[in-house]
Structure formats: structure tokens, C-alpha cells
Amino acid sequence: MSMKRSATMIGKWSSMLILVCLIGIALSIPSAHAQAPGIPAITIDVNQSDSPEDIAVTLQIMLLLTVITLAPSILIMMTSFVRLIVAFHFLRQALSTQSLPPNQMIVGLALFLTVFIMSPVITDIYENAWQPYSAQEITLEQAWNRGQEPLRDFMLSQTREKDLALFVQIADIAQPGTPDDLPMRIIIPAFVISELQIGFQIGFLIYMPMLIVDMVVASVLMSMGMMMLPPVMISLPFKLLLFVLVDGWYLVVESLVKSFQ
């Protein structure tokens, strides 16, 4: 009987404790009508504007959002990023290091090198197009024309005439007198193809010494009768040693950056 009475008392105290906790939680939660202090309210209104400056600011915001949306495509297709990322991918495959360096590191290095290589072009666009437009010295159309000239010159300097002629033929347009007369819809795909071609050529040059190391190791293993041992396991340390002794990262980055000059 005493044990039964104790169990009953414990059950009553547990029920009261749970009820008190629920009441405390309910009191600690603010009501739906209560407004939390310090939280700003954000509203979006579409009203009529009597000031041309308001419309100009709205157009600038829309233009900025459009540029942010297209920024990855612009960065990949119209800069030196294509050649760099292709060459670094072939370098990692040639070293047989699987996922080292990781993709994030390779992409990050390619991005920083792209900013370094494209800095004269970016500076030219900023000084001759963006600054005069911000000071309301030129119109948006003039800023657009000035901004695309340095980028056009950079792409034309890295594009083969063969690729330009291919897209001129495909587009079925009149033969231009000079490359400056070509529209951007012809220059951009021709530039991408040229960058891929050069990136694959650099990848081939990187692969050749590593392939020779793999062939030597495979021949030695076969002559020793160790055909069941993967040659990659033995050749990997030798390839890493060769790459470190010749200061491989210095040579690869130097060759890639100088290839754009």
C-alpha cells in the first residue's frame, strides 16, 4: 500500500511539474499581436514618380541585378578563366593525385589568377566607362560602348583567325574589313573555342613528362614480374618528387600568365 501511495504521489507531482512548465513556456512566448522591438519592417512599393532621378536609380538597380545574375557566365566565357581551369584540371590528372588539390582550391586559384590577368582590362573599363557614367558625363549607351572595347581587344588578341572565320561563315554575315567590325556574338564563341584549344595544348605538354614516368615504372614492374601491383602506386611518389624538384607550380603558373601577354 505504501508503494502504491508513493507511486500515486510521484504521478501527481510529475503532472503538476509538467503543468507549471507548460504555463511558463506559454507566458514566455510573446503574443501574435505584440511587436518585437528593434526589428525593421521591409516594404516594397510601386508608386508613380515625378523625379527622373528615381527612375535612373531604379534602372541602375535592375542593371546591377542583371550583371550579378550573368556574372558567372561573363567570368567563365569572356576572361582567361577557361584556359586556366582546363590547364589545372589536366595537371591534377597528370599527377594522379585524384582529388588533390580539391576543386575549391583549383577554382579559387583560377579565379585569383583571372583577376590578376584581367586587372588592366578591368581598370580600363572602370576608368573610361564606369567613372564617367557615375559622374553623369556620358550616357548609358556610351558607357556600354566604352566598356566593351577593352574586353573586345583582349578577346581578339587571344582568338585565332580560323575560329573567327568559322563563326562568320556559320552566321552567314558579310566579310568584315577588320576584326574590330565583328559583333560580340561572333567574338565570344570564337574566343571560347580558342581558349579550349590552347588549354588542351598546355594539358598535353603537362601530361607528357608524367606519362613517361608512368611508362618507365610500368616497364620496371613488368620486368620484375610484379604485374599485379598497380603502377600508379609506385609512380605517384616519383611524379610528385619530379614536380617538386622542378618547382612545378611556379613553372605552370608562369607559363599560363605569360601566355596571355
Q: Does 57 reside within a domain?
A: no
Structural domain harbouring 150: 76-158+188-258
* pLDDT tens digits along 158-183: 888 888 888 888 887 777 777 777 88
**What's the structural domain count of the chain?**
1
DSSP track, 47-74: -----HHHHHHHHHHHHHHHHHHHHHHH
**For the chain, how are helix, strand and coil distributed in percent, rounded to 5?**
75, 0, 25
Q: Does 169 reside within a domain?
A: no
Q: Does 35 reside within a domain?
A: no
Rounded distance, CA 167 to CA 185, Å?
9
Which residues are CB-contacts of 101 (< 8 A; sequence separation ≥ 6)?
92, 109
Instruction: Indicate whether this model's pTM tops 0.75.
Output: no
* pLDDT tens digits along 108-129: 888 889 888 888 888 888 888 8
Q: Looking up cell 590552347, which residue turns up?
A: 198
Q: Does 105 reside within a domain?
A: yes
* pLDDT tens digits along 8-33: 544 555 555 555 454 554 444 444 44
What's the average model confidence in pLDDT over 43-66? Answer: 62
Q: Does 199 reside within a domain?
A: yes
CB 231 within 8 A of CB 218: yes
Rounded distance, CA 93 to CA 152, Å?
33
Q: Does 250 reside within a domain?
A: yes
Q: Does 148 reside within a domain?
A: yes
As a whole number of Å, the CA-based R_g of the chain is: 32
Q: Does 56 reside within a domain?
A: no
Give, as one character, the DSSP assignment of residue 225: T
Which residues are CB-contacts of 185 (< 8 A; sequence separation ≥ 6)?
171
* pLDDT tens digits along 214-238: 788 778 777 777 767 676 777 778 8
